[in-house]
Amino acid sequence: MAPFFVIKIKPIMSSLHANNNKRKQKSLTSFFTSSAKKKEKKDDEGRENLTTEEPKHTLEKGESTVKENAAVVVVQGGELESLFTEKTWLEFFAENEFQKSYFKQLSAFLSNEFKTQKVFPPKEHVFRCFNTLPIDKVKVVILGQDPYHNYNQAMGLCFSVNKGIQTPGSLLNMYKELKSDLNCRIPTHGDLSKWQSQGILMLNTSLTVRAHSANSHSKKGWEQFTDKAIEELAKARKNIVFLLWGKNAQDKEKLIKRSGREHLVLKSAHPSGLSAHRGFFGNKHFSQTNAYLKKNMIEPIDWQIESATYR
């Protein structure tokens, strides 16, 4: 049996949801305790990727607080980097979701998937969108559907890909709309970490996917989990901008309205090549987002993604 490590950090009561009777929970680690990482072999079968080796992750602005915000957890093997660590989200999910049957079934499913299949994103990035952004820092929510399913693309933030990877079509169309709307230059990479560090929750409705198999982890429990995240955020905060692109994202509007809190919901077609010309181009969602934030005395988003070169 692998050794157990107990990491203790003084518990911090969430300012958003104080509860004096927290239930004990098992850590979400059944599928995060695995063997040493393996480098992927190169695959010449027409992938869009420019490299098949796992890029080393460098902490972005805002990520340095992840360990500081950790709650008390018991981890087999000590793989803390692969766990939920941001205290405000952790407190909510530990109290409300981790013990539910759907979540236990999801954990069992993923445990088998990680053992028998290639799964994206890497384990340490599955909860990246939560671990790098506390509930009280969220200004904007962008909803995606499924992580990218080719090698080295998915990085735990919807629509975003690692530097050195070809920019996917949907993201390229987002860049085009940004240029039209705010005169932003179009970068030659697709890493959107800068947006997350400014308070944009970049959430996929499914947080994992099997390699080369789109939607392979849908209907397994992730949707229920991420729906709870959206609903909790909408209830806990106000004046958040929700960008809902495409029907799947727009189906989540009911979760936002159910909160009864004041938010801005912007809807349009999805930025994919199949639908961008049917209402995404020209939606001006980026400038509308900043206008709303300014109106509510919230720092606007700097949407420009810096790049060594531009298109």
Point out the residues that are catalytic: 146
Span between the terminal Cα atoms of the chain, in Å: 53
Q: Is 201 helix (H, G, I), strand (E, B) or coil?
A: strand
Minimal CA–CA distance to 268: which of 82, 142, 119? 142
Whether the CB-CB separation of 67 and 85 falls below 8 Å is answered with yes
Cis peptide before 134 (omega within 30 of 0): no
The helix (H) or strand (E) run that includes residue 143 is strand 140-144
Whether the CB-CB separation of 139 and 197 falls below 8 Å is answered with no
Minimal CA–CA distance to 201: which of 120, 288, 83, 301? 301
Beta carbons within 10 angstroms of residue 214's beta carbon: 14
Whether the CB-CB separation of 228 and 89 falls below 8 Å is answered with no
- Which residues is 7 bridged to in the sheet? 73
Minimal CA–CA distance to 147: which of 130, 125, 163? 125
118 phi and psi, to 5 degrees? -90, 125
How many Å apart are CA 291 and CA 159, to the nearest integer? Answer: 23
Whether the CB-CB separation of 244 and 253 falls below 8 Å is answered with yes
Whether the CB-CB separation of 78 and 2 falls below 8 Å is answered with no
